[in-house]
């Protein structure tokens, strides 16, 4: 849908530009009354995308080191249970709730953790400093473990059995 809309606008722009430029070169082709309107339309079609581009682009961010507020690295979260995770009930399903403190928005993602060195671990895409993580694990025996919200910089969750 976006591509269709994009190519439609490009086609209209090219047609307007071609007719206008052809009319400027060969003035007998188009009535001067319409040629003026076509010329102004062409100028507007050129200026509108430039204004939209400047509105969407952040040229002067407040923190020059914070280009996207998220790093390109991944976080390794180690889940440490107060009670041990039963090995016979693997695989575990894991729901990660990510809470943004600035916007009060929550989103949930699911993951399958891996067992390493007696713990369950998983990798998450890096999060901003405003986001907190809450982990909930369920095994095939319908047992649940859950953590409190914690900072992604800690990357270590202590889970309690529910």
Omega prior to 91 cis, within 30 of 0: yes
CA distance 80 to 117: 11
The residue assigned the tokens 């914070």 is 66
| CATH number for the domain running over 74-161 | 2.60.40
pTM above 0.75, yes or no: no
Task: Supply angle C-alpha 99, 138, 124, rounded to 5.
Answer: 40
Domain(s) labelled CATH 2.60.40 in the chain stretch across 74-161
User: DSSP code of 127?
Assistant: -
Cβ count within 10 A of residue 20: 21
Query: Mind listing the pLDDT tens digit for each residue in 64-99?
Result: 444 444 444 456 677 666 666 666 555 577 888 888
Q: Which residues contact 80 (CB under 8 A, 6 or more apart)?
A: 119, 156, 157, 158, 159
For residues 132-156, give the mean pLDDT. 78
Query: Mind listing the pLDDT tens digit for each residue in 23-56?
Result: 888 766 778 788 888 888 888 888 888 787 777 7
CA distance 138 to 117: 19
- Report the b/e string of 76-100 with b at 16+ CB within 10 A: ebbbebeeebeeeeeebebebbbee
Burial tier of 60 (Cβ tally within 10 Å: 0-12, 13-18, 19+):
exposed
């Amino acid at each position: 849908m976006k591509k269709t809309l994009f190519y439609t606008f490009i086609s209209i722009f090219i047609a307007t530009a071609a007719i206008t430029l052809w009319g400027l070169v060969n003035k007998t082709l188009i009535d001067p009354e319409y040629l003026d309107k076509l010329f102004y339309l062409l100028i507007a079609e050129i200026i509108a995308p430039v204004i939209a581009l400047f509105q969407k682009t952040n040229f002067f961010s407040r923190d020059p080191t914070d280009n996207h507020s998220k790093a390109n690295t991944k976080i390794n979260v180690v889940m440490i249970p107060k009670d041990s995770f039963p090995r016979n009930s693997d695989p575990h399903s894991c729901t990660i709730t990510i809470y943004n403190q600035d916007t009060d928005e929550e989103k949930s993602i699911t993951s399958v953790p891996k067992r390493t060195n007696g713990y369950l671990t998983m990798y998450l895409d890096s999060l901003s400093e405003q986001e907190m993580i809450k982990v909930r694990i369920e095994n095939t025996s319908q047992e649940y473990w859950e953590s409190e919200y914690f900072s992604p910089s800690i990357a270590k969750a202590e889970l309690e059995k529910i």
